[in-house]
Structure formats: C-alpha cells, structure tokens
Amino acid sequence: MKTLVLVDVQNDFTPGGSLQVPGGDGIIDPVNKIQNRFDLVVATQDWHPPGHVSFASNHEGKEPFEVIDLDGREQTLWPDHCVQGSEGARLHPRLELSRVEAIFRKGMDREIDSYSAFYDNGHLKSTGLAGYLREKGAGELHFAGL
C-alpha cells in the first residue's frame, strides 16, 4: 500500500509561526496535489504541553537554539511552539485533510522531546504510527512536511 506521511505541517512551522521554516508554506500546495496518488495518507502533529522541557523559556538564562545536556541527551532549546490547543499547533489551514485517515501527535510528554514521527527522543514512548502503518499494510512509504 502506497502511503504518504505528512509531517508537522503546522502553523508554528510556517511563515509567521514561532518556529517558522522559511518558505515552509511552500510544501502545502504540492502535498495537496499529490495526496490522491496514495492509498493511505496520515499526518503527524507536534503537540507540546505548556512548560515543555524543550522550550528555552523554561530554562533561566537560556536562549532559543542553545544546546543543553538534559538527562544525558543533547537538547536544543526552542522558542515555545506547537503548544497544545494553540493556533500555532493547528495543522495549516490550507492543508487538505479530507484524505488524512489519522493524525499522530508527538512531543506530549513534558519531560522529553520528540523529533521522530515514530517515538520520543529517548525511544521510550511510541506515537503509535508504526503499528498503525503495519496494521493497514502500508508498504511503500513517502514522507513530506516540515
């Protein structure tokens, strides 16, 4: 089954967002156009609780993009972004969602970051995406996003 995984196409990662990727909204029209070429389309969503450990604002005297040691792992400190329920955490309004069968949220544990669509940075908690893809019989995987 040919599968498209849309990764973190969220307001905070597009122009005007708190952790914007320059030109990040440029991915939206192309991924909208290709979704119909796939048997399965799913998405991920960064979904941090307020006070997340990766936010520089939670580390006195630290600035965004500084790197610290956090429990033996390097942690980049970020501007507050994709806070649960915020406008910045929403999937971009131009992203076509009618073919998206499931959305997998990540970064929900206040004490550990999660860059992967599959598990947190400590490989302690799964997002459930791998199991879902196996259950659906996904074979050929394509990833697009921010």
DSSP code, position 16: T
pLDDT per residue as tens, the chain (146 positions):
999 999 999 999 999 999 999 999 999 999 999 999 999 999 999 999 999 999 999 999 999 999 999 988 899 999 999 999 999 999 999 999 999 999 999 999 999 999 999 999 988 899 999 999 999 999 999 999 99
Residues in the chain: 146
> How confident is the model at residue 15, as a pLDDT?
97
> How confident is the model at residue 140, as a pLDDT?
96
Report d(CA 112, CA 71) in Å as an integer: 9
> How confident is the model at residue 71, as a pLDDT?
85
Supply 133's token pair.
């893809």
Report d(CA 51, CA 57) in Å as an integer: 8
> How confident is the model at residue 66, as a pLDDT?
97
> How confident is the model at residue 59, as a pLDDT?
96
> How confident is the model at residue 45, as a pLDDT?
98
Q: E-assigned strands of the chain?
A: 3-7, 40-46, 67-70, 73-76, 100-106, 141-145
Q: Name every residue whose Cβ is closer than 8 Å to that of residue 74 and which is 6 or more positions away in sequence.
A: 67, 68
DSSP SS3 for 25: helix
Report d(CA 138, CA 130) in Å as an integer: 10
The amino acid occupying position 80 is D
